[in-house]
Chain A
Amino acid sequence: MTDKEFIKITDLTRKFKENIALDSINLTIQEGELFGLVGPDGAGKTTLLRTLAGLLGISSGEVREAGCDLRKNSEAVKSKIGYMAQEFSLYGKLSVLENLQFFGEMYDVPPALQKERIPGLLAFAQLMDFTDRRAAKLSGGMKKKLALACTLLHQPPILLLDEPTTGVDPVSRRAFWNILNDLHLGGTTIIVSTPYMDEADRCSQVGLIYQGKIVECDSPENIRQKIEGEFIKIVTHDWQKAREIIQPLTGVLEVQSYGEALHILVDSSTKRLGQIQKTLQKNNLEIMEIRMIKPRMEEAFISLIRKIGQTN
């Protein structure tokens, strides 16, 4: 039976001097969830993950995690957590194997169990051929995989990963997420922060954090459906001018730019498609592409953040 309130955060606030990094956060995460934490830079993703890892004190509020009260005793929870910091945080002078053994010792994994688990971890991190290489000499993707392997040796029920795929090439990113998916299927509760919206789509739950607040928390499907309206994608030869023209049109709720392309949120695509097309042609703008698209997490995310910005 899974614990419905495996991680329960109640009114959590964390201040750094005058700066409020986390603003009365309420969040419940079920056991076995693959929880994606998304939000712009500086929103509080790292602060929240560090707090859950017991690395930061709590200014006010409560955090219960795997049966431990973090406020009272943040040390008790540490053996139940595998935490992976955002920056590379292994020992560069130690080899791949030595790093694994070091963290195995730190988490009190008996030597026999270490021997049993390390080959498997090396295999799934694709580091079998690099066991004696110094960690500092690994590529970016390998470092991330080694860091993940180091957090998995003690088979923690909770994994906290702070932007584990930032700076990793797309192929390694995909491999990394396949690993996370396996762990998720194995029942590990995973909280992962990410700046990539396609990654958020792979989570079972997504929490949007903005200015220290959780502004949305739901499944990716539900979050996408929260967008009122539909998206039209337009590619023109001058996206800046096109943007200026489209923005004030009636029925246009939002214009997001993606390189040369504009994603336009409108109240009804059937009503507005022709209208936009005509206006652009009137202004002598050549249209290379115009079509309806389904909103992705990315559009949903930007739209949600903008809405909050407007109400504030």
Chain B
Amino acid sequence: MSFRHLWAVIRKELLHILRDRGTFLLVLVTPTLVLLLMTYSLAIEIQHVPIALLDYDQSPTSREFMHQITAGDDLDLYENAASMEQIEDLLIKGKIKAAIIIGPKFSKDLLAMRGLSLQIIIDGTEPETGGFAVDHIGWRAESFANDILADQILTSGISLDSLEPIDLRIRSWYNPSLEPRIDIVPGLLSIVLGFPAFSVALTLAREHEHSTMEQLLATPISRIELLLGKMIPYILAGLVNVIVIPIIAIAWFDVPFNGNFLEFLLLSAIFLFAELSMGMVIGVFMKSQSAALALSFLVVLFPGFFLTGIFFPTAALPEMARMESMFLPGTHYAIITRGVFLTGIGMDTLWPYAIMLVILGAAFTGTAALFFKKKLA
């Protein structure tokens, strides 16, 4: 291996990344842009859903209930309606997304421990928002009723401890409030870092299209010098993203970063090696940029969404798909990013995934080198 050959190719390719607008955007801008776009579109939290209230009970209990329902940011009281007609009107006009009708026997039934008489009407044209409202009203109503019941039991002199032999409390670790945003940003990193892999796939095809490949193959450069020289610049460009994106995640999305940043850089470099090797295999087989791009979408991007466990847990995948997901560098990197960002674990725990990535990278690069011939046909 000649380091002069290697460095000459790296230098040429770096100059290309900096000077070719398309490549520059794809490698250095697109990952951040796509991350922002996807985070905003996927991690939306529904807030301030306007609701109306029709209180037939008009008791202190019902007023207290209503107060509790609208105590959070999730549901806003738009109107204290006087009749069903008014509620219908508000729903049709889209002023409210849901309405709560408190029956006349609400407080009596509740205090007599006969349950809650409550009706919820939602705007079915927006099922997402309606479902959200039903869930949130339900949770609030349940906890309200439980508090009332506990009060009742206490006043009748029964100890609460004896009533609750099982105390099941669900606590989610590392993301205590279960905010989707936090979980999604580190996961998305493994998808958006696929874009440098696109570029690697394109870079070989580009040389074929511009017939620079013919000139390059006529020189004494070796296959591995050429392939590594093509890959390393894009690993470096990918690492720029690995530095920029966590800064955005931390500063903009309040994602915690509990791990060691240097370890994270190292693990990311290993991931990029594996991911970009995959791009290299595509580049070796596809002689045109359009074909290389299409295959990159199929092999890098889509499996990244569906198989790496970012949106759908890998445990839920059919066995074949689960096996396939093990061959995707993104699957292992998603575990690494979540671990480093949220849990704060490092190399001492994540080393098996790092080893898996090294194996995948070596296998992909080996395949690329094996099938890359220094011949035109």
Contact = CB atoms under 8 A, between A and B. Distances in A.
Interface of A: 16, 50, 53-57, 74-75, 78-79, 81, 83-85, 87-94, 98, 101-103, 105-108, 147, 150
A261 B222 CA distance: 54
B219 A107 contact: yes
B9 to A, nearest CB: 8
B220 A93 contact: no
B359 interface: no
Interface string B158-197: 0000000000000000000000000000000000000000
A133 to B, nearest CB: 13
Interface stretch (B15-23, B26-34, B254-262, B319-327): B15-23
A152 to B, nearest CB: 13
A102 B12 contact: yes
Contacts of B71: none
A108 B2 contact: yes
A90 B219 contact: no
9 contacts: A50-B376, A54-B218, A55-B374, A79-B220, A103-B219, A106-B216, A108-B4, A108-B5, A147-B215
A31 to B, nearest CB: 20
Contacts of B218: 53-55, 78, 81, 83, 85
Given A89-B212, A94-B16, A103-B215, 15 more contacts: A16-B377, A54-B374, A55-B218, A55-B375, A75-B222, A78-B218, A78-B220, A87-B211, A89-B213, A93-B19, A101-B8, A102-B8, A102-B12, A106-B220, A108-B4
Interface in B352-377: 374-377
B269 interface: no
Contacts of B11: 102
Interface residues of B, number: 28
Pick from A88, A89, A92 the residue with the most CB of B within 10 Å: A89
B375 A57 contact: yes
A55 B214 contact: yes
B212 A90 contact: yes
B6 to A, nearest CB: 10
Contacts of B215: 83-85, 89-90, 103, 147, 150
Contacts of B93: none
B138 to A, nearest CB: 61
A56 B15 contact: no
Nearest to B12: A102
A128 to B, nearest CB: 22
B38 interface: no
Contacts of A56: 375-377
Nearest to A101: B8
B211 A106 contact: no
Contacts of B2: 108
A55 B5 CA distance: 19
A119 to B, nearest CB: 20
B221 interface: yes
B12 A91 contact: yes
Nearest to B376: A55
A105 B15 CA distance: 16
A106 B221 contact: yes
Contacts of B221: 106
B114 interface: no
Pick from B215, B220, B221 the residue with the most CB of A within 10 Å: B215
B289 to A, nearest CB: 15
B262 to A, nearest CB: 33
Given A106-B5, A108-B4, A93 B16 contact: yes
Contact of A107 (B16, B220, B377): B220
Contact of B12 (A57, A87, A94): A94
A88 B5 CA distance: 22
Give 5 closest A-B pairs by Cβ, nearest first: A105-B8, A106-B219, A89-B215, A83-B218, A85-B214
